[in-house]
Structure 1
């Protein structure tokens, strides 16, 4: 079947080449199109004359003979421009053997023409949803069953339409009303009693809701993804067609309203402000980013740099802040122009070693790729209600090393607090060192509350934190006592030769702590309990923990290349780093690092990066933490550890 389709496309292109078919221009500056193939729904374009119509039907007949598929003429239709003469229309329909004119009403589930009342055009979405809900209403469903149906079917049903068009407000309101009535009703005839407003049920589970979607915000988030694709993939067919009509000389993010735009284009522009709120410029060469106006500082949300001068040059570009010989940041220039608070953020960015263009990335995901889920919650951004927090909780948490985020942690929701501590704080840059004590802190906060409630005994928050951290340290020491004897000596054993024919493994890791000015990276070549070479390096703080681990991989490859060790594989305890290299197109935030990676890759004939458990990578983890804690920028590559890296000093990092 694939070969038949390829043959069909080849015949169409051959006919174009010899002038037998004239391709269709939707707009004068847009690329011409001769065909669009979507499984059973296929479109062919040509000039309205008998010769080209005969060529189209001839190619289709040859494809049918080769593939066994035949055209269903009764389900096919032909569309003409308004200026085509009636006689020509009749001749073409006779040649094509297609007598239905004007289209099929819908194409790929969407209306072919959108004009007049938008409520009437999209009424089919409402009718489809109501017919589906009515079949459910006659059944006796539990609340759990209704919740599953609403999330998986009712709110998913209009998703495809909402990803292409902005539904009218009254249609969205009727869809929400139908879903709400189904949730509260007991049978098909009763609307039921609505005990709480629907907006409350659309809150996330962590805030007391059920996680239902608000259709307006979800509609905008889906449309923002279409706009993101125009920015991310400017050479796609859709982007080239729309560029010829709406943004020929500008970015779609900043284009001005055009004359008589299509409803699809207007729908995408309705989500532009939402998309812009989460975009950040990823620095490549720096030639496309203005220092004082473009959002390139990696904060949430992203913003331009802040000047320390009274007057600024509005046309200053980021490339002027980069030392072009070394492709590193010009620190003297940064200190001259930019406030000190922004400089650490800038130094964490990785300028490209080549002249790659700056690009937009999505700031609310690690990968930098747009996510409808993250944009939906950014659009919703509902305020949290104030409630009484647990006894002495905020005093204790503020004294700990766990980073506090206003409105995010701590909150009145136990679920939200635990979700943040277990998962979200790492995504926001919190290190394991800073959050590892939180179970004991929670336990001693509870004990302090019990002492107050049942014994009327007050415990100072500092004492609560001290007791918790002391108990946590005792637990770790007891648990690590046996493991320490097995793991610690591996950092200091002498090198040995490789006994097997498989290439040696290079384990890599990085240490990153929120608020620190430095990061530590390290690598070890060896297997089992011994090593032959190692590298330690302290660098300026990277943008995130994942950026630090990627930098460790890049530096390990450079170091091994200088040692003429290239027949080697790599290992890491970071699954995201392996995913990044497997699907690089899904991680635009690492475009500069990936350029460096590909420039070094040819030196390693059997390169592979595999995931290993964290316990198996304890040696390199120990190196990276020790390097970061040293507090100065340096590097060390040798077959032995430096003198200051003693076993006694290393004990806290292994405990």
Structure 2
């Protein structure tokens, strides 16, 4: 009844078509009513985008995921941190959500539910590790009940305390060994001492930075000294000129060992030897013998 009463009110303002055609769909964002890609792009940028901005959505973790692969740490640890951010790790809460038959409590402390935040930041053994480590911590700014907030602090916020260029914080290794200690407790029933874990993580961090330190190459200095020029008789219509070359290597050069090495050759004598009877001796032993004879002066 209500619909039948409203229909005349809605239909009255509509003009009756003189062509008496059936109703069809039209694209109201162009004058012709025809759809175009250009008009759809305008709608996406000006109409739909405004509607999306009005919606209340959760913060994006795209920046966190992108920064994971910029960490100064082995790639296996980057992969683990990325999995922690996306929730693709086998904590009991995730297993229960996938209908896995398992206990939902924490294997280390017996908490009723084990989440990613609890396993890495809130479990008592993990809390001891963070407290004993050199990572800056404080009440209300770190170890809050959100893995995203805690990772945000580790990635960027703590750099206000530590200079980024001097930042050798072992927190990626701490996360790695906290997770390994959790698995060892779950599968082997072995508890790791938090202080031992912190020392091991810091030593692994120091070893990794030392192994990846960029060593500047030592440039070898080679000085070429020119001596007196000499003139050889015409050979083949051209005059041949040469010089006494004295290559001098720096002391401690790896090319010649420890000490100075400055061999000299008498170029006229070497040239005459090559043009004389020994010119047919072109193998390495003969040439070396000829050079030794030229350098005995």
TM-score class, shorter-chain normalisation, is 0.3 to 0.5
| Bigger fraction of residues in strand | 1
When normalised by structure 2's length, the TM-score is 0.33
Larger Rg, first or second structure (1 or 2): 2
